Structure 1
């Protein structure tokens, strides 16, 4: 029965889920029509909001592109590739490969979401080189690890409200991570997902005659052209000393940032760390640039689609539609069920506003006011927004773009499996937020 449900989900998505670029165009139209109907905005007002907001995520787009590039470059260094190869050898068959990639992706995403996306995808490719396993499910399993990111160390909502001077401090004060990330209910949800996600992925493994395999030769990295030292420029490109000096300078900065200044993880420091480590571990500028040329080929989707998502976010936020949706769903709640309805509303809003920090900015006024009026647990309500944001990433292909770029697949290839994880994880998270 489970295989039948999975096959139906995969066929449904393969038939009806368009390319992510078409998906974002359709979402733009849906958001615009909803804003006009619900918020009584004129077509020209919506078009102006959309156009003004179209470039609102330029810095974030560059950050996300660098997550893809620097993560790919770091993972392609000889030491990391050897480590991934050794880990892949632990897989004795298709089933163990699915479980292994799920656990690695979950652990990496809990540490940092960008790290998890890249490592999961690259590890899936390495497993596919060594084990005969359905490649679609293997990559979907890598992406499913992304479910836990907002309940982990890089969760933008819990980190925001734990930071001195955050925009809601006058209403809720500082909420430490001991009440959010490390609270019993959140830890229990994370542990439950660490058990359920690999098992569900394993149960979805199709029969051999239904599986889609990939030729390992197609996943091989392109060999680097032979280098020469005929010119002074060649000597610079092959200089280990030059790479070492810059790499050690980067390590010195990272030591000062984390140890001396007690800095926290964020996108910029993650990208900086990956970039410096990649330069150091590749050994020479020439090897480093070769890995960049390989990595950059998969970044087209991010570059062209993220501005459209910025436009959708502008429509949702500036028109008031996101707040209206949140208010409508949260109005159904009591003090006991506020977390559940907040989770559901956050999942819906995330389809149109796929940004954890941006979503908290949109929903926090509604959630904070509702929690205070009902006497509900504020940290739990905030984490409900966080989990809702992470939950429907199994339906929204926005964050799958880096994974798909690395793996060389289309969204329709993996989202059918992710749809099953959407339903299973939704039950687990809802129960944890409501009853623990």
Structure 2
């Protein structure tokens, strides 16, 4: 079944899937055309909506970029790398390696999506050095854990609506993470996925004759360049004291925030946490900056795409298109089924807008009025959009790029395995959103 399902998907993706920036350009044109054709807006009016709203999400864009960058820096710190090496040594065979890499990826992705992507890929390489296992499935297992990220501590939608002054605050207020990330229905979905995803990955392990292995020698990291101190500036860049004089107070601030002041999670606190933990664990500013240089490459899409998402959101809201779409959704959705339709629609939109933050900017103007009109819990509908965004990342390879770059594979190498997970996780999440 795996071979039957994966081959056509691989061919389709190889031939027709362009860069995500192409999707945001197409979506801009579609939104503009719909505003003109459906809402009877003039081209000049639509152009003004778009241009005036183009820079409305700059703060949000920076928060999303930092989520990725700080998670990457923490995952690539020397203590985390050493921990992964020690943990890899406990794997006994191919089956245990598959289960271990999936569980590590699930946990790391639940903590932070940037952290999870990097930790999963690094751990897969460590396991492949020690265990003879199908390398494609190993890397696919590392990526499959990413599906829980939007139900975790760094989920951009629940953290956005928990942050003061977010762009829909006037409409829904501030919704704490107790109603989203730490709600019963969300934790139940996460728990089910922590059980099902490792088991499915293990059951997909090919026979030895059908497996693809990798030479452990090609997985070795380049030796660390020896630090040479030849000038006073070098001493500052490699000073543990300087890094800790700033990093440790940052950690103390977090303890004060959570313990003494009883503060909660939001985008700013999560980014602050991962940044200052990375500063402490990297030990020197130079090590942190080298990690930053690698991390920032993965954030290029956020920088260029989010202004277009803001423009699309402005077209949809100001033209009346968002209201018309929400009314259309209300016409067939019910109080019980709206979370399911929100999840399904978000999964489809994610194929074109592969960014949780950008997708929320596009879908919030549609889903929130529908939820309010039907009397549905806004927190549940918001999490339905969040899970829909995370779910079809198993099919949309945009966020797999950091994993594939670290592992040295291509999207077609892991897509067949991820497609199987797409069907199974979709059923679990849909049931959880509707009935839990």
- Please classify the TM superposition score into its range, dividing by the shorter chain length: 0.7 to 0.9
Name the CA distance, whole Å, in 1 between partners of 2:237 and 2:158: 44
> 2:98: which partner in 1?
98
Greater Cα shift, 52-61 or 207-216: 207-216
Structure 1 residues 199 and 80: CA distance shift in structure 2, 3 A: same
> 2:272: which partner in 1?
272
Name the CA distance, whole Å, in 1 between partners of 2:173 and 2:350: 25
Name the CA distance, whole Å, in 2 between partners of 1:127 and 1:316: 47
1:234 aligns with 2:234: yes
Question: 1:338: how far off?
Answer: 3.0
Contact 2:140-2:415 within 8 A present in 1 as well: yes
Question: 1:82: how far off?
Answer: 0.8
Question: 1:380: how far off?
Answer: 4.1
Name the CA distance, whole Å, in 2 between partners of 1:319 and 1:397: 32
Name the CA distance, whole Å, in 2 between partners of 1:170 and 1:56: 15
> 2:356: which partner in 1?
355
> 2:421: which partner in 1?
421
Per-residue CA deviation, residues 126-174 of structure 1 (Å, 9 max, x unaligned), is 3344444454544443333232233334445555667789888898788
Structure 1 residues 345 and 206: CA distance shift in structure 2, 3 A: same
Per-residue CA deviation, residues 251-285 of structure 1 (Å, 9 max, x unaligned), is 22222333233333333333333333333223333
Structure 1 residues 325 and 147: CA distance shift in structure 2, 3 A: farther
> 1:365: which partner in 2?
368
> 1:87: which partner in 2?
87
Q: In structure 2, the residue corresponding to 1:233 is in which secondary structure? A: helix
Contact 1:150-1:156 within 8 A present in 2 as well: yes
> 1:195: which partner in 2?
195
Q: In structure 2, the residue corresponding to 1:432 is in which secondary structure? A: helix
> 2:283: which partner in 1?
283
Contact 1:340-1:384 within 8 A present in 2 as well: yes
Name the CA distance, whole Å, in 1 between partners of 2:62 and 2:145: 23
Question: 1:106: how far off?
Answer: 1.8
> 1:71: which partner in 2?
71
Question: 1:219: how far off?
Answer: 4.6
Contact 2:88-2:126 within 8 A present in 1 as well: yes
TM-score, with structure 2 as normaliser:
0.81
Contact 2:394-2:418 within 8 A present in 1 as well: yes
Structure 1 residues 14 and 92: CA distance shift in structure 2, 3 A: farther
Q: In structure 1, the residue corresponding to 2:229 is in which secondary structure? A: coil
Structure 1 residues 341 and 251: CA distance shift in structure 2, 3 A: closer
TM-score, with structure 1 as normaliser:
0.81
Q: In structure 1, the residue corresponding to 2:336 is in which secondary structure? A: coil
Question: 1:369: how far off?
Answer: 2.8
Matches within 5 A, 1:16-415: 16-155=16-155, 157-158=157-158, 180-205=180-205, 216=216, 219-351=219-351, 354-355=355-356, 357-358=360-361, 361-372=364-375, 380-397=380-397, 399-400=399-400, 402-404=402-404, 406-407=406-407, 414-415=414-415
Contact 1:128-1:216 within 8 A present in 2 as well: yes
Greater Cα shift, 79-88 or 330-339: 330-339
How many equivalent pairs are there? 433
Contact 1:161-1:168 within 8 A present in 2 as well: yes
Name the CA distance, whole Å, in 2 between partners of 1:97 and 1:316: 47
Name the CA distance, whole Å, in 2 between partners of 1:179 and 1:246: 34
Name the CA distance, whole Å, in 1 between partners of 2:134 and 2:44: 48
Q: In structure 1, the residue corresponding to 2:233 is in which secondary structure? A: helix
Name the CA distance, whole Å, in 1 between partners of 2:170 and 2:241: 52
Structure 1: gaps of 5 or more residues: none
Greater Cα shift, 203-212 or 361-370: 203-212
Name the CA distance, whole Å, in 2 between partners of 1:174 and 1:55: 23
Q: CA RMSD in A?
A: 3.8
Structure 1 residues 233 and 181: CA distance shift in structure 2, 3 A: closer
Contact 1:3-1:204 within 8 A present in 2 as well: no
Name the CA distance, whole Å, in 2 between partners of 1:370 and 1:171: 13
> 2:10: which partner in 1?
10
Name the CA distance, whole Å, in 1 between partners of 2:8 and 2:419: 11
